[in-house]
């Protein structure tokens, strides 16, 4: 199997796993928020852990979902402009958007890792978790964004191997 095809298959597996994580986090966040409403208005006993856990789950859903959007070329871009220019300019604009995504992902990965490391020993307010855990999805999602943006640069959309695995 050629290297490009293996990378496309690996990217598809990782993207599908990231999408599953994002979906589970979103569903879990809905359950946590439902419990918050029930506990507050029915039981009159609002738990303190629901807000920080909901934020952690939201960060997870947002970052892992954003990473899969980068892989499927559904992230920010110059869509109207891309369709209005000749094919060569289209490829340049798409490459520029992927480079911007990779740089943004790198910043998120580094910044998120610094926040994880700096706040790991700080207890999260209201939840028995380290505060640094709230930033872990930002760092992990940033790493995925970088990997998927690089994959898209090397295996642009339209590549049969990459398209088959979406």
pTM of the model: 0.83
- Cα distance between residue 72 and residue 159, in whole Å: 12
Containing 2, the helix (H) or strand (E) segment is none
Residue 143: closest CA among 56, 55, 71, 93: 71
Query: Are 105 and 18 contacting, i.e. CB atoms less than 8 angstroms apart?
Result: no
Sorted by sequence, the CB contacts under 8 Å of residue 60 that are 6+ apart come out as 21, 22, 25, 137, 141
Q: Give pLDDT, residue 148.
A: 93
The rounded mean pLDDT for the chain is 87
Number of neighbours of residue 125 by Cβ within 10 angstroms: 10
Query: Are 112 and 142 contacting, i.e. CB atoms less than 8 angstroms apart?
Result: yes
Q: Give pLDDT, residue 157.
A: 59
- Cα distance between residue 90 and residue 76, in whole Å: 15
Q: Give pLDDT, residue 15.
A: 92
Task: Point out the residues of the chain with pLDDT beneath 50.
Answer: 159-166
Q: Give pLDDT, residue 153.
A: 85
Phi, psi of 123 (to 5 degrees): -70, 140
Q: Give pLDDT, residue 72.
A: 86
Number of neighbours of residue 164 by Cβ within 10 angstroms: 11
């Amino acid at each position: 199997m050629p290297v490009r095809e293996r990378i496309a298959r690996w990217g598809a597996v990782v993207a599908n796993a990231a999408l599953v994580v994002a979906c589970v986090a979103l569903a879990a966040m809905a359950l946590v928020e439902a419990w918050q409403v029930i506990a507050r208005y029915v039981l009159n006993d609002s738990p303190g852990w629901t807000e920080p856990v909901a934020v952690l789950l939201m960060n997870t859903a947002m970052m892992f979902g954003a990473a899969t959007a980068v892989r499927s070329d559904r992230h920010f871009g110059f869509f109207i402009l891309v369709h209005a220019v000749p094919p060569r300019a289209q490829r340049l604009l798409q490459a520029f958007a992927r480079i911007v995504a990779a740089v943004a992902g790198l910043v998120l990965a580094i910044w998120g890792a610094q926040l994880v490391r700096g706040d790991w020993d700080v207890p999260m307010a209201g939840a028995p978790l380290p505060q640094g855990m709230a930033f872990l999805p930002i760092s992990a999602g940033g790493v995925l964004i970088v990997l998927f943006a690089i994959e898209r640069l090397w295996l642009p959309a339209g590549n049969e191997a990459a398209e088959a695995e979406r």
